[in-house]
Amino acid sequence: MVTTTERVWEEFHVGLKHFILKRIPDELSAEDILQDVFLKIHTHIDTVREADKLQSWIYQIARNAIHDYYRMHKATPELPEMSYMPEDRFDDVVSELIPCIQEMIDDLPVDYRQALILTEYQGLTQKELAERLGLSLSGAKSRIQRAREKLKIMLLNCCHFEFDRLGRIIDYVPNCDCCSYPAAYSGSK
């Protein structure tokens, strides 16, 4: 796959900046993170072999950079969380579910799929979505909320989830064949 950093910048920098700004408190730090993300993209873009995995790879770099930011900027030390599983299991579970979630998003009706992709992946605000699709702001909000609810129902029908005290997914067991279950965490090890 031949991809240039310039093409990736043109295609993803606006959406990535919105994605980072939703999770980082100030714009200067968000800009720094965006630059770090693109530095990593530039130095490792030749490792991406499949074009359809480029966007997922880029957003994973951004998520990791955001996690690094919060690790470096902890105001007070936290007590270690009492858990029977590794600290990064949450990230593992979410990463395992990404292909399944992407398929579910593809199965949503076009209007809902479009609303989720534009807001969650491309970083449009609800107001920008409303303007782009010619909807009222409340109509755009309703469409996003309904899309999220449909996706949630699809996920809950697909898998049984276990959550930690913060409401994060810590484990899951598929009810169907669409999501794979990692044997390493199923207790069979």
Return d(Cα 99, Cα 115) in angstroms, integer.
Answer: 19
The string of DSSP codes covering 18-31 is: HHHHTTSSSHHHHH
pLDDT at 86: 42
Work out the pLDDT band at 45, boundaries 50, 70, 90: confident
Average pLDDT on 82-87 reads: 39
Domain membership of residue 29 (yes or no) is yes
Strand partners, 163: 169
pLDDT at 98: 76
Q: Tally the domains of the chain.
A: 2
Strand partners, 162: 171
CATH code at position 117: 1.10.10.10
53, 124: one domain: no
158, 111: one domain: yes
Mean pLDDT lowest among 19-28, 83-92, 168-177, 178-187 = 178-187
Beta carbons of 37 and 68 less than 8 angstroms apart: no
59, 137: one domain: no
Domain membership of residue 136 (yes or no) is yes
CATH code at position 24: 1.10.1740.10
Whether pLDDT at 91 is above 90: no
pLDDT at 35: 93
Domain membership of residue 104 (yes or no) is yes
Hey, how many other C-beta atoms are within 10 angstroms of the C-beta on 19? 23
pLDDT tens column, 148-167: 999 888 888 888 877 777 77
122, 150: one domain: yes
Question: pTM, whole model, 2 decimals?
Answer: 0.48
63, 96: one domain: no
pLDDT at 3: 65
Strand partners, 171: 162
Exposure class string for 63-86: b at 16+ Cβ within 10 A, else e: bebbeebeeeeeeeeeeeeeeeee
Show Cβ contacts of residue 52 under 8 Å, excluding neighbours closer than 6 positions: none
Domain membership of residue 79 (yes or no) is no
Return d(Cα 172, Cα 164) in angstroms, integer.
Answer: 12
Q: Which residue segment(s) compose the domain that 33 sits in?
A: 5-72
pLDDT tens column, 98-155: 778 888 888 899 999 999 888 988 888 999 999 999 999 999 999 999 999 998 888 8
The structure tokens listed for 2 are 């031949």
pLDDT at 15: 87
49, 109: one domain: no
Domain membership of residue 134 (yes or no) is yes
65, 142: one domain: no
Domain membership of residue 123 (yes or no) is yes
The structure tokens listed for 87 are 């600290």
Domain membership of residue 177 (yes or no) is yes
Extended beta strands in the chain, E state: 159-163, 169-174
57, 10: one domain: yes
pLDDT at 141: 94
pLDDT at 74: 65
Average pLDDT on 55-63 reads: 88
Domain membership of residue 58 (yes or no) is yes
56, 95: one domain: no
Whether pLDDT at 51 is above 50: yes
Strand partners, 160: 173
